[in-house]
Amino acid sequence: MLNNVRAPITTFLAPLVRRLVDAGVSPDVVTTVGTLGVTAGALAFFTRGVWFIGTMVITAFVFSDLLDGQIARASGRSSVWGAFLDSALDRVADAAVFGSIAFWYAGGGHSLPLCGAALGCLAFGSITSYIKSRAEALGLSANVGFAERAERLIIVLVCAGLYGLGVPLLLPISLWVLLGATAVTVVQRLVEVRRQAVALEAAHTAEPVPAAAEPGAA
C-alpha cells in the first residue's frame, strides 16, 4: 500500500539525513527519540481527548521511523542490534497510541465498547508483528495482510486528527475497521506461515536418503 509513497518521502528527507550523518547522529538515538516523542505525545494529548494537536506531535516523531533506517544505511552503521531496537520500540509506540485512545474512551470518552476496540487493535497489532518476526526467525516469511504497522498508524492518526477538527465519527469507525482488519491479518499470516511450514517439511521428507555403502566398497 505504501510502496509508492516511500520513494518520494525518502527523497524529501535525503538532505536532512545527510546533515544528521555529517553530524554523527546515531540511528539508534533517532529511533529512541522518535519513540519517546510518540509516547509522550500520545500520553499527553490523546489521553485527554486533544486529538488534532496530539496527532501533529505524534506524526512529527513518526517520521523518525523513516529517518533511522536511512541514517543507518547512509552512514554504514546498520546492525543487528539496531534492527532489534527499532522493532522493539515500535511495539512501545503502538502501545502508547492505542493504549492512550483506550484510556480516553474508558474515561472522558464514555465508551467501553470503543475502549475495547482500541485494546483489540493493540493486541491484534502486536500479534501481527510477532507472527512476522517469529516466522522470519524460523526462515519463513509472513508478508501478507492489509493491516501492517504503517497502515494501522496512518489510518488511526488521520482519523484522530480529523476527529479533533470536528469530524466525530471517523475515529470510532477507524477503530472498528482496524480491529477487523488486524484480526483478519493475523489469520492470513497464520495460514501463510502454516503453508510454508508444511511445504518445507514435505520437501525434507521427500529428500532421498543416501544409500549405505556396501561392505568392502572403496
Q: Report d(CA 144, CA 182) in Å as an integer.
A: 11
Can you tell me the mean pLDDT for 202-209?
76
pLDDT band at 217 (very low <50, low <70, confident <90, very high): very low
Q: What is the pTM of this model?
A: 0.87
Mark whether 22 is an active-site residue. Answer: no
- State yes or no: pLDDT of 159 exceeds 80: yes
Determine which one of 28, 65, 86, 90 is catalytic.
Answer: 90
Q: pLDDT tens digit string along 40-59?
A: 999 999 999 999 999 999 99
Assess contact for 132 and 182: CB atoms under 8 A.
no
What confidence score (pLDDT) does residue 75 get? Answer: 84
Q: Does domain 3-205 have CATH number 1.20.120.1760?
A: yes
Domain locations in the chain as residue ranges = 3-205
Q: What is the pLDDT of residues 113-152, one digit of tens each?
A: 999 999 999 999 999 999 999 999 999 999 998 888 888 9
> What single letter denotes the amino acid at residue 22?
D
pLDDT at 218: 41
Please state the three-class secondary structure of 156-206 as a single string: HHHHHHHHHCCCCCHHHHHHHHHHHHHHHHHHHHHHHHHHHHHHHHHHHHH
